[in-house]
Structure 1
Amino acid sequence: MKNMIIRAATDADLNQLKQFEQGVIEAERPFDQCLKPDPIQYYDLEQLISAEQCYLVVAELQNNDRSGKLIASGYARIEQAKPYVSYNFYSYLGFMYVDPEFRGHGVNQQLIKHLADWSSEQGVTMMHLDVFADNLPAIRAYQKAGFSASLLEMRCDITKM
């Protein structure tokens, strides 16, 4: 998308990031009946902004009529890999959100590329993320970015067995 920059999030972005977080929760609620009723929060945004092993970014429009408008977010967090895989660390991607008005314009792809570049600079060669199995639009977007499914988490409410 033209006239868009991706930059590190700051404390000044917190109000908009909290709105994005609610957008993520609203989008995921149909896929997870175990979520508590609103209000809930997924992320410690202040910690994601300040933690050394995390890189929280925002996409910001820089054109005349919408200068400074935040339209997307995402983070990469360096994690220790399982001892049985061939790499020691990976970047876990989360808080991937694009304002509905700007979806379908490659914003998510640019966020992922930016986070991949940062991860590579940290010496990391693998990225992981979680996506609900029924969230087909998100799965397609991540596949387009080069991700492939590797494990399906399953759960069972034993009170309904």
Structure 2
Amino acid sequence: MITREATAQDLEILSTFEQGIVSAERPFNSTLIDGEIHYYDLNEFIQSSDATLIVVEDHDEIIASGYALIKNSEKDYNKFKNYAYLGFMYVKPEYRGKGINKIITDELISWAKSRDVSEVRLDVYAENESAVKAYEKAGFEPHLLTMRLKP
């Protein structure tokens, strides 16, 4: 398996990964609208100097993806001015449980460190126990829980 930066030629398969993410998240988020949803501007991640979008290939087949985006802290009381936000973490179902998510997070964290970014964050649904465990295994720890009420 190899990791590499995504290119515009990868956008078709990456858009199917995006819909896979939406499908996986629907049971955890009743606020999502029906139909096709686009969370990401994947082309922007490919072109931006403040982002990297990587893919994992196995025998010339793209099997996984993830991105890191440098964001401003927006809070002057934080110890860091910017942080790397990770997202678009997707592994094809038949490749799950083989440590590929860890390969992706390690690569994205390394990219962030190479840009002198010391804080890395991501969002995961608290009820998504397998994803929470995977991120904890990669060294992440819970930080803040967003709660909602539909009056």
TM-score by length of structure 1 reads 0.91
1:68 paired to 2:68:
no
How far has the Cα of 1:5 moved from its partner? Answer: 0.7
Q: Among 90, 94, 97, which residue is 1:97 paired with? A: 90
1:6 paired to 2:3:
yes
The separation in 2 between residues aligned to 1:144 and 1:83, in whole angstroms, is: 30
Whose radius of gyration is greater, 1 or 2? 1
Q: Which runs of 5+ in 2 are unaligned?
A: none
Q: Which runs of 5+ in 1 are unaligned?
A: 62-66
Q: Among 133, 145, 151, which residue is 1:152 paired with? A: 145
In percent, how many aligned pairs have the same letter?
A: 46
Which SS does the other structure have where 1:146 is aligned?
coil
The separation in 1 between residues aligned to 2:18 and 2:106, in whole angstroms, is: 21
> What's 1:48 paired with?
45
The separation in 2 between residues aligned to 1:47 and 1:94, in whole angstroms, is: 14
What is the RMSD of the two structures over their aligned residues, measured on CA atoms? 0.7
Q: Matched residue pairs, number?
A: 150
TM-score by length of structure 2 reads 0.97
1:79 paired to 2:71:
yes
1:126 paired to 2:123:
no
Deviating 4+ runs (over 3 angstroms): none
Query: Partner letter of residue 129 of structure 2?
Result: L
